[in-house]
Structure 1
Amino acid sequence: MEATGHYRHWRTDLELVRSLGVQALRYGPPLHRVFEGPGRFDWSFTDDVVAQMQRLGIEPIMDLCHFGLPDWLENFQNPEVPDALAEYARAFAARYPAVRLYTPVNEMYVCARLSALEGAWNEQRRDEVSFVRAVRHQARASVLMMQAIARERPGAIFVNSESSEFYQACCPDGRIQDIATFENERRFLPLDLLYARPLGEQMREHVRRCGMPDAEYTWFMNQDVRRRAILGVDYYDWNEKVIDHAGSPRSLGELFGWTVIAGQYHARYRRPLMHTETNHMDAREGPRWLWRQWHNVQMLRASGVPVVGFTWYSLIDQVDWDVALRSPRGIVSPVGLFDLNRDPRITGQAYRHLVKMYSKELEGDPRIEDVLHASGTAVREEQEAVHA
Structure 2
Amino acid sequence: MTMFLWGVAGAGYQSEGSAPDSNWSRFATGYRDSADFLHRYPQDIELAADLGVRVFRLCVEWARVQQVPGEWDFEFYDDVVAKVRAAGMRPMITLDHWVYPAWTGGWRNPRMTELWLANADRVVKRYAGNGTIWITFNEPTVYMAHEIRLGRFSPMMPSRMVRAHKAAYRLIHETDPDALVSSNVAYIPVVNRLADFGFLDWITGSLDFVGIDYYYDVTPDNLTAVRGATGQLYRIDPEPKGIYRALKHYARRFPKLPLYVVENGMPTDDGQPRPDGYTRTDHLRDHVYWMRQAQSEGVPVLGYNYWSLTDNFEWGTYRPRFGLYTVDVERDPALARQPTDAVDAYRDIVTGGLPDGYRPKK
TM interval, short-chain normalised: 0.7 to 0.9
Task: Please give the per-residue CA displacement for 1:279-328, whole angstroms capped at 9, x wherever unaligned.
Answer: 11125421111112111210111110100111111101123x2xxx23xx
Q: Which residue of 2 aligns with 1:333?
A: 320
2:210 is the counterpart of 1:231: yes
Ranges in structure 2 where 5+ consecutive residues have no aligned partner: 1-15, 18-33, 229-235, 274-278, 328-335, 355-362
* Aligned 8 A contact 1:337 1:348 in 2: yes
Structure whose alpha-carbon radius of gyration is higher: 1
**Secondary structure, aligned partner of 1:318:** coil
> Any idea what SS the aligned residue of 2:106 has?
coil
Distance 1:14 1:29 in 2: 15
- Aligned match of 2:22: none
Map Cα deviations across residues 208-251 of structure 1 (whole Å, 9 max, x no partner). Answer: xxxxxxxxxxxxxxxx423xx111111112x5489xxxxx9666
The CA distance in 2 between the partners of 1:240 and 1:84, in whole Å, is 39
Give the aligned partner of residue 272 of structure 1. 258
Q: Distance in 2 between matches of 1:93 and 1:67?
A: 18
Unaligned stretches of 5+ residues in structure 1 = 168-179, 196-223, 243-247, 360-388
What is the CA–CA distance in structure 1 between the aligned matches of 2:35 and 2:342, rounded to whole Å? 18
CA contact (8 A) 2:238 2:283 kept: no
In the TM superposition, what is the alpha-carbon distance from 1:254 to its structure 2 partner? Answer: 4.8
Q: What is the TM-score normalised by the length of structure 2?
A: 0.74
* Residues 1:104 and 2:136 aligned together: yes
Taking the TM superposition and a 5 Å limit, the aligned residue runs for 1:133-212 are 133-167=156-190, 184-195=193-204
Normalised TM-score (structure 1)? 0.69
Equivalent-residue separation in structure 1 for 2:145 and 2:218 (angstroms): 15
**CA displacement at 1:151 relative to structure 2:** 1.6
Deviation at 1:189, TM superposition (A): 2.7
AA aligned opposite 1:345: T
Distance 2:237 2:115 in 1: 38
Within the candidate set 289, 293, 297, 1:295 is matched to 289
Q: Give CA deviations for 1:63-88 in whole Å, capped at 9, x if unaligned.
A: 11001211122223333222222222
User: Which protein is richer in helix relative to its size?
Assistant: 1
CA contact (8 A) 2:311 2:325 kept: yes
Q: Which amino acid letter does the alignment assign opposite residue 263 of structure 1? A: K
Partner of 1:346: 341
Q: Deviations over 1:20-62 (max 9, x none)?
A: 0112111112221112355421111011112212221111011
Aligned CA distance change for structure 1 residues 155 and 40 (closer, same or farther; 3 Å): farther
Partner SS for 2:310: coil
CA RMSD of aligned residues (A): 2.5
SS in 1 for 2:82: helix
Structure 1 runs, 4 residues or longer, greater than 3 Å off = 36-39, 239-242, 248-256
State percent identity of aligned pairs: 24
The 5 A counterparts of 1:1-388 are 1-2=16-17, 3-37=34-68, 39-99=70-130, 100-116=132-148, 119=149, 121=150, 123=152, 130=154, 132-167=155-190, 184-195=193-204, 224-226=205-207, 229-237=208-216, 240=218, 253-254=237-238, 257-270=242-255, 271-282=257-268, 284=273, 285-319=279-313, 321=314, 325-326=315-316, 331-340=318-327, 341-358=336-353
Contact map agreement 1:337 1:345 (CA 8 A) in 2: yes
- C-alpha separation in 2, matches of 1:20 and 1:12: 13
Take 1:154 and 1:37, find their aligned partners in 2: how far apart are those partners? 31
Kept after mapping to 2: 8 A contact 1:339/1:345: yes
Are the counterparts in 1 of residues 85 and 91 from structure 2 also a CA contact under 8 Å? no
SS class of match (1:312): strand
- Tell me which amino acid in the other structure corresponds to 2:288: W
Q: 1:27 aligns to what SS in structure 2?
A: strand
CA distance in 1, matches of 2:67, 2:350: 39
How many correspondences in the alignment?
293
Separation in 2, partners of 1:265, 1:253: 23
Structure 1 distance, partners of 2:247, 2:299, is 10
Q: Is the 8 A contact 2:61 2:99 kept in 1?
A: no
Q: CA deviation at 1:187?
A: 3.4
Letter in 1 for 2:261: H
